[in-house]
Structures are given as structure tokens and as C-alpha cells.
């Protein structure tokens, strides 16, 4: 079972700002237009008006595309480490998304959880620009069954890594949702990023 802070520990503890924290700028953070109000588990976190599409049968993801921030990356499955924290994709791969294989597949009913690094020692990685997403942007997930699940962003939130709301981020839902998570907030050279950026979205189409 995932616990509050599990994602933060997996993604933030070993991440360094560009050039090992000595130079460069922090990744973009969610702005005021990215979120409206405080969401509850299973509800549109941003009050999206885009109707939810019926859930799809289960099928593992193989690729994620986020046109607004030019993400086009393969997806690998990740599980839990020996401390029951969510494992992260390999740090040295700059263009790779992790999907939590013990949860729902993207497009199926429930909360599909995906994670990725914001940077590594070489520079920005797959989710460096995740904080720029806004309500209404789309996320496309290509699945093994060759269907593409299209999700619409409801909200983009920033949570302190020691206070991630477990029910909100990991809790069950009846509809098909996708949560995308990376590091964010201020950066401490000893402990890494202090927060997590979480994108909440729901299935709105399939093709």
C-alpha cells in the first residue's frame, strides 16, 4: 500500500537541480490558473466541464504524449521498493515515464498513477515542464491494445513532500483517472526538492 510521501521519497530524495544544484533554474511551478479550489477524491479536482468517457478494458501503457509541454516518452512499469515506497524509473534515462503496475492501467476504471523525474545530473528530464500544464490540456496514453486513452487535465497541484494527501492522490475512483507526478517546489541541496507536482486528469476520449 502506498503511503503519504512515498512518491516524494522515490522521486525527490536523489534528484539534483541542473548541474548538481550549482547552477540553472528550478523547473516551472503550477500557477494560479492551474487549480481552482481543493479537490476531493473521485471528483474533478479543478471542476472540469469536460464529460468523462466510459472506462476502457485494462491494458498496460506503452507511451505517453503531452502536446502542451512536448512530452513524447515510452512508459515502463514500476512497483514498490523494500520500504513500500513507489519505485521510480531509472535516473539515467531522461525520457521515460513510470506506471505503477499494481494499480489500474490508464483508461481503465480507477486511478492510474504515473511518475517521472524532473531532472538529473545532466539536465532537465521528461517532466521538467509538468508544472506548466493547465486545466483543459490533454494527455495521451498509448496502450498495448493499440488504443489511445485521452485524458483532460482537471487540476495541477503542488504538495509538500511530507504532506502528500494520500486519499486524494492515491485513492480509488469510479471513473478512469490519471495522476501524473514529479518533483517540484523549492530545492535543497542536501535533501532535494521539497514538494511534488501532481497533475489530476480524467478520461475524456479513446481512439
Each residue of 65-88: pLDDT tens digit?
Answer: 999 999 999 999 999 877 777 788
27 in a structural domain: no
34 in a structural domain: no
Share the mean pLDDT of the chain: 84
26 in a structural domain: no
Nearest to 154 by CA among 6, 28, 52: 52
Which three three-digit cell numbers place residue 19? 548541474
183 in a structural domain: yes
39 in a structural domain: no
Each residue of 111-157: pLDDT tens digit?
Answer: 999 999 999 888 899 999 999 999 999 999 999 999 999 999 999 99
Here the CATH number for the domain that contains residue 131 is 2.40.260.10
41 in a structural domain: no
Domain that holds residue 174: 6-18+50-206
Specify whether the CB–CB gap between 141 and 75 falls below 8 A.
Answer: yes
Q: Would you say the C-alpha torsion 75, 118, 183, 79 has a positive or negative sign?
A: positive
Higher pLDDT, 199 or 43: 199
Question: What's the domain count of the chain?
Answer: 1
Phi-psi bin for 12: left (phi > 0), alpha (psi -120 to 50), beta?
A: alpha
CB within 8 A of 62, min separation 6: which ones?
74, 75, 142, 143, 144
User: Which of 13-27, 64-78, 154-168 is most confident?
Assistant: 64-78
123 in a structural domain: yes
17 pLDDT more than 60: no
166 in a structural domain: yes
Amino acid at each position: 500500500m502506498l503511503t503519504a510521501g512515498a512518491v516524494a521519497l522515490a522521486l525527490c530524495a536523489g534528484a539534483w537541480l541542473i548541474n548538481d544544484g550549482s547552477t540553472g533554474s528550478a523547473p516551472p511551478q503550477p500557477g494560479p490558473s492551474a487549480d481552482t479550489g481543493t479537490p476531493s477524491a473521485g471528483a474533478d479536482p479543478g471542476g472540469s466541464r469536460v464529460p468523462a468517457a466510459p472506462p476502457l478494458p485494462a491494458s498496460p501503457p506503452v507511451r505517453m504524449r503531452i502536446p502542451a509541454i512536448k512530452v513524447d516518452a515510452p512508459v515502463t512499469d514500476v512497483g514498490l521498493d523494500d520500504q513500500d515506497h513507489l519505485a521510480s524509473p531509472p535516473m539515467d534515462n531522461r525520457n521515460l515515464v513510470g506506471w505503477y503496475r499494481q494499480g489500474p492501467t490508464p483508461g481503465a476504471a480507477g486511478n492510474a498513477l504515473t511518475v517521472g523525474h524532473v531532472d538529473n545530473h545532466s539536465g532537465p528530464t521528461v517532466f521538467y515542464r509538468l508544472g506548466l500544464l493547465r486545466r483543459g490540456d490533454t494527455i495521451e496514453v498509448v496502450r498495448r491494445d493499440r488504443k489511445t486513452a485521452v485524458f483532460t487535465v482537471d487540476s495541477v497541484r503542488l504538495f509538500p513532500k511530507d504532506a502528500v494527501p494520500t486519499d486524494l492522490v492515491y485513492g480509488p475512483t469510479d471513473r478512469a483517472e490519471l495522476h501524473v507526478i514529479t518533483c517540484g517546489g523549492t530545492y535543497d541541496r542536501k535533501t532535494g526538492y521539497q514538494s511534488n507536482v501532481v497533475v489530476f486528469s480524467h478520461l475524456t476520449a479513446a481512439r
